[in-house]
Chain A
Amino acid sequence: MNREEERAIEWDCQKTMRQYYDYVDHRDFDSAANLFTEDIDWMSHGVALHGRKELRDGLQAALGEGTIRHVLSNTVVNVIDEDNAELDEYHTLYYSADQEYETVDGPIAFEGPHRIIDCFAALRRTPEGWRIAKRRAPIIFRHDPNEPVRLETWGKKEGKT
């Protein structure tokens, strides 16, 4: 593979990640889940999910209410071969557990980022395009470590932690 082909893969994998967060932050969970492989191996906030169906349920439970924006930066894609790549980036999360941006009258008050996460993703080329096959996301900084977010609460209740 030459460098031009690698750059094209780097570009397309970044697009898949950005597209995923555009969908998920705007509550389009079906479109978001379709950007993962059927056998997705997903772990974030201590919650482990396997397969698109579980992931779709987790997204709905975690982000069906409240408001979140995942701000992506520092993306580095390592191309493994023509059909596999790995991606690392930072996520700066802005979050309100209590208000929905679609229905609130005006902007939601905030004091700054809610948490900062190291994100790792393994992507695989499929007939539909590049899809996320594995995801890990440890929280590095957190505004209030004692305040659980919905994903954590749901994961414990469902035995997914």
Chain B
Amino acid sequence: MDREQERGIEWECQKIMRRYYYHVDRREFEKAADLFTVDVDWLSHGVKLDGRDELVKALYASLGDGTIRHVLTNSVTTVVDEDHAICRSYNTLYYSADAEYEEADDPLALEGPHRLLDSYAELTRMPEGWRISKRRSLIVFRRDPDEPVRLESWGKSKGKVPGQA
């Protein structure tokens, strides 16, 4: 594979990642989930999900209320081969648990970023295009480490947090 082909893959994979957060931040959860492989292996905020169906349920539960914006930066895509790539990024999250941007009369109050995550994704070329087959994210900084977010509460209630009794 030459560098020009690699650049093409890098661009496509970064576009998938951005597209995912576009959909998820606007509550288009089915469209968001369609950007993953059917058997996606997903772990974020300590919550482990397997497959698109579980992912859609978790997205509705965690982001159906409140407002979030994932500001995705620093994306570095490493092309493994013609059909596989790895994308590492930072995600700066702005979040309100209590208000929905669609219904608020004014902008939501903001004190700054809510958390900063290291994001890792493996992507696979499928007949319908590049899809995310594995995702890991680690919260590095957090405004209030003791305040759970909805995904964590939902994951615990559904037994989706590995290692939790």
Q: In residues 83-141 of chain B, which contact A (Cβ within 8 Å)? A: 88, 90, 92, 111-113, 115-116, 118, 138-141
Whole-angstrom distance between the alpha carbons of A101 and B117 in the complex?
11
Q: In residues 13-32 of chain A, which contact B (Cβ within 8 Å)? A: 15, 18-19, 21-22
Q: Which residues of A contact B113 (CB under 8 A)?
A: 94, 110, 112-113
Q: Decide: A108 near B143, CB < 8 A? Known: A11-B7, A18-B74, A22-B76.
A: no
The answer to whether A94 and B141 touch across the interface, beta carbons within 8 angstroms, is: yes
Q: Decide: A19 near B144, CB < 8 A? Known: A8-B4, A71-B90, A113-B112.
A: no
Size of interface on A: residues with Cβ below 8 Å to B: 26
Q: Which residue of A lies closest to B78 (CB)?
A: A19
Q: List 30 A-B contacts (CB under 8 A).
A: A11-B11, A12-B3, A12-B7, A15-B76, A19-B76, A22-B76, A22-B88, A69-B90, A69-B116, A69-B140, A69-B141, A71-B73, A71-B74, A72-B73, A72-B74, A94-B141, A96-B141, A101-B138, A101-B140, A106-B142, A106-B145, A107-B115, A108-B140, A108-B141, A109-B143, A110-B142, A110-B143, A112-B112, A112-B113, A113-B113
